Amino acid sequence: MKLFQQLLVAPAALGLMASGATAAELNIDGVSDYAASADQVTSVTQFSDVYPTDWAYQALSNLVEQYGCVAGYPNGTFRGNRAMTRYEAAALLNACLDRVTEVTDQLKSLITEFEKELSMIAGKVDGLEARVGDISATQFSTTTKLKGYTAWVVGAADNATFTPDGEDDAVSGEALSFTYDLRLKLATSFTGKDELTTVLRAGNFNNTPFDEGLTFVETAMSSGNTVKVGRLFYTFPVGDNLSVTAGPIVRTDDASMYAGYATFYPSDLLLDFFTYGGAPTTNNLAYTGSGIGGVYTFGDSGLKLSGNYVAVDGADSSVGFGTGEGITTSAWQLFYEGELFGGSLLGQLGYSYEQNAGLAIGTASFDGNHSGYSVAAAWKSADSGLMPSISTGYSIADPESDDYDEINSWYLGLEWNDVGIEGNSLGGAIGEAPSFEDDADNFMWEVYYSFSATDNITITPAIFGIYDGLEGDDGDIFGGLVKTTFTF
């Protein structure tokens, strides 16, 4: 019998199975042979009287298209409502079973022919299952990722000064300088939820005005081209809501030491004062040392609470860690992240207490115990457009000594995203760095335009001004720079 044998349900077949015929007189093979000579169909749509709404449409479609064991009348009809005899049923079933037998025989032949290859595949599958089992059992392997960042700064500032290495007196620093900052971060995880952070850093800002005072820029690193360990700390979870950080070289704003900055203003652009997010008196970034801190997240409420302690002389056994001696700083913060007016809202309340420490930035120069308080908020629209992100903050510091007045500071930062080309940004900020209440207030500003040359290269030209930042009538400073950053 041919491979695609079919049963012809037609008047001619009825004549073969006329009334009075017996099982002995009618040979099933004869019916099937006759069916092989009928018009074959390859799709149920060839039947003019069969419709998708018919209750047996899917079954008939499978018999025709998958098994090829059904045929119709020569006029292209199937006549599905017509009754069939038992002989017709037997012939149809026999034709379909023959087709199944042929397919099965072909499959057995293929299995025999490719028995060797199938055996090899089965062995490889068993090996893969074993490896998957090992991976599932261990879940995680120790992994270290390297991330790099370097910033090249070409700039100058009118009326700027700096103190050269090894000297006591400041000198003019108005000439154009070309400096760099390089950071290599090694992030190692042992469980997939923890992280050991090691930051290697080098730079050559030593002999420029961008390394001190109010003209200090965020990227300034003064290592004299020597690579140093800038950070070394370990972060790990405690339960579902608490994350803890501890290490011998850590700062108050490192991971899980600080809940977050309430600002959308960029933190790595130009003047260092504007990177504090409005909280320069409650988050002293001038010091690193031995420290510990944690951040507690209050579920899905958007609230976080953080606290930390850093002892600058924690590695000195004559001073120690947690003894109350030497320079120490401790910061506490309540941070909120949510939505408002169709945009993103950030807010924070901060408190700090520092011993034998001066402020990280500002004209209020002193070393002593003091408390700091800050409040900051920021809002950003969900869509880029004419509306900029708005970031603002106010902070004060209260020295314990009666010899000093209260210290104030404030700032306002704006940034427009996707200006000119998608991914570019335009922004600026104004503010007053921490200064004593009764002193002449300083005033600072900066404006920048940042554009992405590639996904990993950003070029940012910027200008800035500082009024009453120095003593005397000639204390105003104006400067500009171009910063190119590479990330990898």
pLDDT in tens, 231-242: 999 999 999 999
Higher local confidence (pLDDT), 187 or 212: 187
Query: Tell me, what's the pLDDT at 310?
Result: 94
Least confident of 163-167, 200-204, 252-256: 163-167
CA-to-CA distance for 40 and 64, rounded, in angstroms?
9
Ranking 63-67, 98-102, 190-194, 362-366 by mean pLDDT, the lowest is: 362-366
Q: Which H or E run contains 109?
A: helix 86-113
- Please give the Cα distance from 359 to 367 (Å, whole number): 8
Q: Would the CA dihedral through 310, 311, 317, 323 be positive or negative? A: negative
Give 11's pLDDT tier (boundaries 50, 70, 90). Answer: very low
Per-residue pLDDT tens over the stretch 297-310: 999 999 999 999 99
Q: Which of 44-53, 208-217, 239-248, 362-371 has the lowest mean pLDDT?
A: 362-371
Query: End-to-end CA distance of the chain, in Å?
Result: 70
Check residue 25 and give its pLDDT.
Answer: 42
- What per-residue confidence (pLDDT) applies to 14? 33
Arithmetic mean of pLDDT, 185-210: 92
| Digit-coded pLDDT (tens) for 131-149 | 887 777 766 667 899 999 9
Cβ(205)–Cβ(222) below 8 Å: yes
* Residue 247 phi, psi dihedral angles, 5° rounding: 180, 165
Closest CA to 379 of 226, 291, 262: 262
CA 429/CA 414 separation, integer angstroms: 6
More confident residue, 321 or 292: 292
Whether the pLDDT of residue 243 is over 90: the answer is yes
Query: What is the pLDDT at residue 317?
Result: 86
Predicted pLDDT at 4: 32
Architecture of the domain delimited by 140-487:
Beta Barrel (2.40)
The token pair at 119 is: 């055996």
More reliable by pLDDT, 364 or 345: 345
Beta bridge mates, 457: 486
Q: Quote the CA–CA distance of 82 and 32 in Å, as a whole number.
A: 20
* CA–CA separation, 486 and 488 (whole Å): 7
**CB burial readout 106-140, b (16+ within 10 A) else e:** eeeeeeeeeeeeeeeeeeeeeeeeeeeeeeeeeee
At 2, the pLDDT band (50, 70, 90 cuts) reads: very low
* Residue that the structure tokens 């809940």 belong to: 259
- From 185, 146, 179, select the one nearest 483 (Cα to Cα): 179
Q: How far apart are CA 347 and CA 93, in angstroms?
A: 77
**Which of 71-85, 87-101, 159-173, 253-267 has the least mean pLDDT?**
159-173
**Which residues are CB-neighbours of 337 under 8 A, at least 6 positions away?**
260, 302, 304, 344, 345, 346
Lowest mean pLDDT among 137-141, 262-266, 310-314, 447-451: 137-141
Q: Exposed, middle or buried, 233 (CB in 10 Å: 0-12/13-18/19+)?
A: buried
Q: Is the pLDDT of residue 190 over 60?
A: yes
Residue 9 pLDDT more than 90? no
Residue 281, pLDDT score:
87
Pairing of β 242-250 and β 328-340: unpaired
pLDDT above 90 covers what percent of the chain?
39
Q: How confident is the model at residue 384 (pLDDT cuts 50, 70, 90)?
A: confident
Confidence of residue 115 (pLDDT cuts 50, 70, 90): confident
pLDDT (0 to 100) of residue 474? 54
Sequence ranges of the chain with CATH classification 2.40.160.10: 140-487
pLDDT at 290 over 80: yes
Helix (H) or strand (E) holding 159: none
pLDDT tens digits for range 30-81: 445 544 444 567 787 888 888 888 888 888 888 887 777 777 778 888 887 8
Cβ proximity of 369 and 355 under 8 Å: yes
- CB-based burial label for 324 (10 Å; 0-12, 13-18, 19+): exposed
Res 336: pLDDT? 97
Share of the chain above pLDDT 70, in %: 87
d(CA 408, CA 442): 11
**Mean pLDDT on 426-434:** 93
The upper half-sphere exposure of residue 217, i.e. CA atoms within 13 Å in the direction of its Cβ, equals 34
> In the predicted model, is pLDDT for residue 262 greater than 50?
yes
Report the interhelical angle of 115-138 vs 86-113 (nearest 10°). 80
* Per-chain mean pLDDT for the chain: 83
Query: What is the reported pLDDT for 16?
Result: 34
Angle between helix 86-113 and 28-36 (nearest 10): 70
51-65, 78-92, 467-481: which range is least confident on average?
467-481
Which residue reads 């006591």 in tokens?
Answer: 168
Query: Other CB atoms closer than 10 Å to residue 76's CB: what's the count?
Result: 12
HSE at residue 297, side-chain half, CA atoms within 13 A, is 14
Lowest mean pLDDT among 6-20, 140-154, 261-275: 6-20
173-182, 296-305, 445-454 — which is least confidently predicted? Answer: 173-182
Q: Do 335 and 348 meet the contact criterion of CB atoms below 8 Å apart?
A: yes
Count of CB atoms within 10 A of residue 35's CB?
24
pLDDT band at 3 (very low <50, low <70, confident <90, very high): very low
CA 442 to chain centre: 39
**In angstroms, rounded to a whole number, what is the distance separating the alpha carbons of residues 234 and 241?**
17
Check residues 384 and 427 and name the one with the higher pLDDT: 427
Residues 289 and 249 sit within 8 Å (Cβ to Cβ): yes
The C-alpha angle with vertex 359 and arms to 358 and 363, in degrees rounded to 5, equals 105
The predicted structure's pLDDT at residue 101 = 81
